[in-house]
Amino acid sequence: MKFYSTNNSQHKVSLREAVLKGLAPDGGLYLPEQIPVLPKSFIGSLSEQSNVSMALTVARNLLGGEVEEKELQRIVEQTVFFDVPVVEVENNVYSLELFHGPTLAFKDFGARFMASLLGYFSKSEKEEITVLVATSGDTGSAVAHGFHKVPGVRVFVLYPSGKVSDLQEKQFTTLGDNITALEIDGTFDDCQRLVKTAFQDAELKSKLVLTSANSINIARLIPQSFYYFFTLAQLGLKEPVVFSIPSGNFGNLTGGILAWKMGLPIYQFIASTNVNDIVPCYLDNGKFNPRPSIQTISNAMDVGNPSNFARMLTLFHDDYYEMTQMIKGYSFTDEETREGMRAVDKQSGYTLDPHGAVGYLGLKKYQTSHSVKGVFLETAHPGKFREVVEETLGRKIELPERLNNLITRQKKSIEMSSTFDEFREFLLKY
């Protein structure tokens, strides 16, 4: 399987190059040149298969021939070793709990898959690989944990100072070793711009083997298609199922599109956002207007220029009509999000995190005019956003042990302005 750039379908590279480059030289994002439809017999027997076996079939389908079978199996096993339960919250409303991994958010899937894959590629690389990652919270922790102590790989996590929760910050500033946290005086968009600019800098590119672990990396994207299969394995295929995806950079939703293109019978996607509603607006009026992000309580989705939009367009062949048939978009204010969290807490005792709550609200809105079974992605454990959750629900929530242990650990970060020159000098000197 080769991978092409969304800016030029003639520009094709190997998986290794796509993963190491992150972004194509023309600024496009990589996609597999084909998305083979899986056999009906595979889809029909999902409920009889283990998560590892489903994930391995999907990975093989998209990476065919680029990774030795034994290694691919090892990579998949290191990615999906934790539970991925589908929990009934209300009649016809299910929560796909993606937060049972090491850092309690769905980004563990992409980060662990990419770390294992890069570890495999680095064996034949003479120089150390430098991974750059911009984060609004969860990416940084998942990537830091996934890559911690992977030989031959150094990681720089860029995050906006004061704009991530204390526990999130602890998750990527306390590891040390090959993980360095850069605390940027700016927004998430500034962090993302610094990373993107680094990839266009000739001197940096010639002196370092640079790659990005942001959701633009194809190695992050592919494992995000796995759990759509796991969900239908648990719910069965008898009735149509819609998925509501709380979105920021739209990696999760793009993973869903891949699963659908591989033949998984998904009836509808719902793109649920906070007030950073660039994609819902596009679905509404056909105009894509990126703009500076607005801070909200679902801060991992505070994205003003969703990077995976280019992939979504390409996967729908730039066909606006086709995209709007398959994806509906809704956005919600913080107040609506908090009301949703309180209502669910009261009615069913289920604790939503602010991101999952946006997904829940999108699903409920869709269901007011469609009587259909629906799943929302619960993308993080509520404990990761305990300040907001406790303040909203007016009660304490229990923290999982893994988070509790972090509270007393010492944060270590390097403070930096959001100017590219300073970042560039730092990388060259490091």
Ligand X SMILES: *Cc1c(COP(=O)(O)O)cnc(C)c1O
Site size toward ligand X (CB under 6 A) is 16
312: contact with ligand X by CB under 6 A: no
Phi, psi (5° rounding) for residue 103?
Answer: -110, 15
Choose, from 107, 261, 328, 384, the residue flagged as catalytic: 107
Q: Enumerate residues 378-417 that contact ligand X by CB under 6 A.
A: 379-380
107 tagged catalytic: yes
Q: Enumerate residues 339-368 that contact ligand X by CB under 6 A.
A: 355
Any alpha helices (H) in 64-213, and if so which ranges?
69-79, 107-122, 138-147, 166-173, 188-199, 202-207
Q: How far apart are CA 329 and CA 67, in angstroms?
A: 36
Q: Which tokens go with 372?
A: 């259909």
CB atoms near residue 128 (< 10 Å)? 13
Stretch of 58-66, 149-157, 247-255, 386-394 lying at the interface with ligand X (CB under 6 A): 247-255
Q: Enumerate residues 85-144 that contact ligand X by CB under 6 A.
A: 105, 107, 138
Among residues 247, 268, 314, 392, the one that binds ligand X under rule CB under 6 A? 247
Report the chain's C-alpha Rg in angstroms. 20
Q: Enumerate residues 207-246 that contact ligand X by CB under 6 A.
A: 215, 246
Q: Enumerate residues 278-307 that contact ligand X by CB under 6 A.
A: 300-301
Helix axes 107-122, 138-147, angle to 10 degrees: 40
**Among residues 79 and 379, whose Cβ is nearest to ligand X?**
379
**Among residues 359 and 374, whose Cβ is nearest to ligand X?**
359
Q: How far apart are CA 145 and CA 210, in angstroms?
A: 19
Contacts with ligand X, 250-269, as mask; x by CB under 6 A: xxx-----------------
Among residues 32, 101, 140, 248, the one that binds ligand X under rule CB under 6 A? 248
Strand order in the sheet with 268-273: 86-90, 93-97, 373-378, 241-246, 268-273, 327-331
**Among residues 42 and 94, whose Cβ is nearest to ligand X?**
94
**Among residues 158 and 208, whose Cβ is nearest to ligand X?**
158
CA 56 vs CA 75, 155, 217, 332: distances in Å: 9, 27, 19, 36
Q: Which tokens go with 128?
A: 């150390």
Q: Hey, which residues are catalytic here?
A: 107
Binding stretches for ligand X (CB under 6 A): 105, 107, 138, 215, 246-252, 300-301, 355, 379-380
